[in-house]
């Protein structure tokens, strides 16, 4: 049975990614759960396993291609007979992606008040009748989204396209997405240009579904620009608009405003939120079903201004860069998805959270003896699991550090669980796996779990769920070096502990003499909206004293 293998759902609100590496070849026999490709999303690079065993009959993408959740990327023959249209539990081809991220129906199913419907023969062609010119219309791409900007045309007239191949990049109020073709055929006419404002239901191309490359000798491949753009993550589109005067329809602030949940709001409300720098994901809607109104946005903005937590730094459009080529040779390289998402997240965290950082040092002489005592050649302990246990005790004693701030409602959310994220340096960027229920695990259990999580992160096998649900973060740069640093709070958390490299230093003891001490530099950054300086000092001193006088019930 020939099975279509589709990109599965890999995490909440993740609708696309980049196929950075294809791990199999046509004709290769694969087993169920064997990795077929490496997929780079906004949050991590993961390996996508096969859902069936069989022989790879066809690979429909190349390394570097942008792919959507639900998109068919391979065909696998499992040897069981009849054709099966789906190798995953993802939606059918016409409903590949969640409504906010990609087309939810074939073009003939769309209706736009101001656009004429397709001719009967084009409707039949879209349903599978042989041959005919069909009018490709902008499909519905999300609730209350009625228009967008065609920022890139990914095909040319005369080009042969396949069903589900991306035709253009569409920039809406919510995101920049690739719009796939609903049929296979040859592009006969392109009715718009890049930068054109288009409406849902508008005819933008005409495709001959009865033609093939052999019937049209003049068929040309996609232009190099279109091909290279297709492999670049879509969120780079706004950055490419470097003209000094932004286009009227271009959401200049899009990369600075990070919507963290699906929000019901009219386009005019979204426009207002962008203009005044409000994240709709943080606004409490008062309309039916939580729908956000203009008054809700204005009220939320007033709260931010009153609290001093406005995001003026993140909402001011950056001036255009100078022409560096005047001074010498340069090279431009696109950021990978993880780096771009990290940049967006940290920009939001830095601008939304009023940071304070406090420093201290802890003598780790005693805890070092414990670490060495319980380390073996097969199991080398680091200091991080010890720190995690101590931090969990501190979070229990100082609950405001195990919380989140909800400015929309004026509430503090206290968490009754202790999940600690540990920043891991990987070749693809910084990832933060989260270890859960720290207070219920021993040091040896945490060490084993931490090593396994770090290994998965470096091998691109970490999942989105592995990085969710943290209440506090530890960033340990001791293995790299340095004396101190000021870590940025990992929003929506309210505090983070930075750890630098320990070194031997002279310490003044109680007898009036200098003695050698193995001193560990610590940096505590926290959200000053919730935590006062005195509380920050008490929290950090609790950690220092617990390190210097370790009292663990049991290591293992």
- Residues carrying an active site annotation: 528
The two tokens of residue 153 are 């045309």
DSSP state of 234: G
Strand locations in 128-244 (E): 133-137, 147-153, 160-161, 166-171, 176-180, 185-190, 196-199, 203-208
Pairing of strands 472-476, 420-422: parallel
Q: Look at the block and give the residue holding tokens 């890999």.
A: 10
| CA 346 and chain centroid, separation | 12
Three-state secondary structure string covering 114-152? CCCCCCHHHHHHHCCCCCCEEEEECCCCCCCCCEEEEEE
Is residue 57 within 8 A of residue 75, CB to CB? The reply is: yes
Find all residues with CB under 8 Å of 267, minimum gap 6, and list them.
Answer: 144, 145, 146, 147, 173
Assess contact for 314 and 302: CB atoms under 8 A: no
β strands within 348-417, DSSP E: 355-363, 403-406, 411-414
Distance CA 123, CA 396 (A): 63
Q: CA–CA distance from 380 to each of 174, 372, 434, 448 (Å)?
A: 47, 8, 21, 10
| d(C-alpha 556, C-alpha 553), whole Å | 9
SS (H, E, C) 350-361: HHHCCEEEEEEE
Neighbour tally for 173: CB within 10 Å: 24
Contacts of 6 (CB under 8 A, 6+ apart): 70, 71, 72, 73, 86, 87, 88, 90, 96
Q: Look at strands 147-153 and 166-171 and give their pairing.
A: antiparallel
**267, 146 contact by CB (below 8 A):** yes
Q: Which residues contact 237 (CB under 8 A, 6 or more apart)?
A: 151, 152, 169, 171, 176
DSSP string, 245-287: S--TT--TTTTT----S---B-HHHHHHHHHHT--GGG----S
Report yes or no: 177 and 202 within 8 Å, Cβ to Cβ.
no
Torsion angle of C-alpha atoms 180, 183, 184, 187, degrees rounded to 10: -70
Alpha-carbon separation of residue 214 from 159, 186, 188 (angstroms): 11, 11, 15
Distance of CA 506 to the CA centre of its chain: 45
Distance CA 291, CA 6 (A): 33
């Amino acid at each position: 049975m020939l099975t279509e293998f589709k990109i599965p759902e890999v995490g909440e609100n993740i609708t696309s990614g980049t196929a950075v590496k294809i791990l199999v070849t046509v004709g290769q026999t694969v087993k169920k759960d064997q990795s077929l490709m490496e997929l780079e999303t906004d949050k991590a690079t993961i390996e996508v396993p096969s859902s069936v065993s069989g022989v790879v009959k066809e690979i429909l993408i190349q390394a570097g291609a942008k792919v959507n959740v639900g998109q068919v990327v391979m065909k696998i023959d499992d040897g069981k007979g009849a054709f099966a249209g789906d190798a995953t539990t993802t939606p059918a081809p016409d409903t590949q992606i969640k409504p906010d991220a990609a087309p939810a129906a074939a073009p003939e199913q769309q209706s736009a008040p101001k656009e004429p419907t397709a001719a009967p023969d084009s409707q039949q062609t879209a349903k599978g009748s042989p041959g005919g010119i069909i009018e490709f219309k902008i499909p519905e791409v999300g609730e209350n989204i009625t228009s967008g900007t065609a920022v890139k045309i990914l095909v040319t007239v005369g080009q042969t396209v396949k069903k589900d191949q991306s035709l253009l990049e569409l920039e809406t109020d919510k995101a920049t997405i690739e719009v796939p073709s609903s049929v296979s055929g040859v592009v006969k006419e392109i009715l718009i240009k890049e930068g054109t404002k288009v409406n849902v239901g508008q005819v933008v191309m005409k495709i001959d579904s009865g033609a093939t490359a052999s019937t049209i000798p003049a068929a040309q491949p996609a232009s190099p620009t279109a091909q290279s753009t297709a492999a670049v993550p879509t969120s780079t589109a706004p950055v490419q608009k470097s003209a000094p005067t932004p286009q009227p329809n271009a959401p200049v602030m899009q990369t600075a405003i990070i919507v963290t949940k699906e929000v019901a709001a009219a386009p005019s409300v979204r426009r207002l939120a962008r203009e005044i720098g409000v994240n709709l994901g943080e606004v409490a809607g008062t309309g039916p079903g939580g729908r956000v109104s203009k008054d809700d946005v204005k009220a939320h903005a007033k709260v931010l201004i009153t609290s001093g937590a406005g995001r003026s730094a993140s909402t001011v459009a950056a001036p255009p860069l100078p022409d560096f080529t005047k001074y010498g040779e340069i090279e431009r390289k696109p950021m990978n998805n993880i780096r771009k998402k990290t940049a967006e997240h940290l920009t939001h965290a830095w601008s939304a959270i009023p940071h304070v950082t406090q420093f201290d040092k802890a003598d780790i002489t005693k805890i070092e003896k414990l670490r060495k005592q319980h380390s073996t050649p097969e199991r080398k302990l680091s200091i991080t699991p010890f720190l995690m246990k101590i931090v969990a005790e501190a979070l229990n004693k100082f609950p405001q550090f195990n919380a989140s701030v909800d400015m929309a409602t004026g509430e503090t959310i206290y968490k009754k669980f202790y999940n600690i994220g540990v920043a891991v340096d990987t070749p693809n960027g910084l990832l933060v796996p989260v270890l859960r229920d720290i207070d219920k695990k021993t040091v040896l259990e945490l060490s084993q779990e931490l090593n396994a999580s770090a290994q998965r992160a470096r091998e691109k096998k970490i999942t989105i769920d592995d990085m969710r649900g943290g209440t506090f973060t530890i960033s340990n740069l001791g293995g790299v070096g340095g004396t101190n640093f000021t870590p940025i709070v990992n929003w929506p958390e309210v505090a983070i502990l930075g750890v630098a490299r320990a070194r031997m230093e002279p310490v003044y003891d109680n007898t009036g003499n200098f003695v050698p001490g193995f001193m560990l530099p610590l940096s505590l950054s926290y959200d000053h909206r919730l935590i006062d300086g005195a509380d920050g000092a008490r929290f950090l001193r609790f950690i220092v004293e617990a390190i210097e006088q370790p009292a663990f019930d049991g290591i293992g």
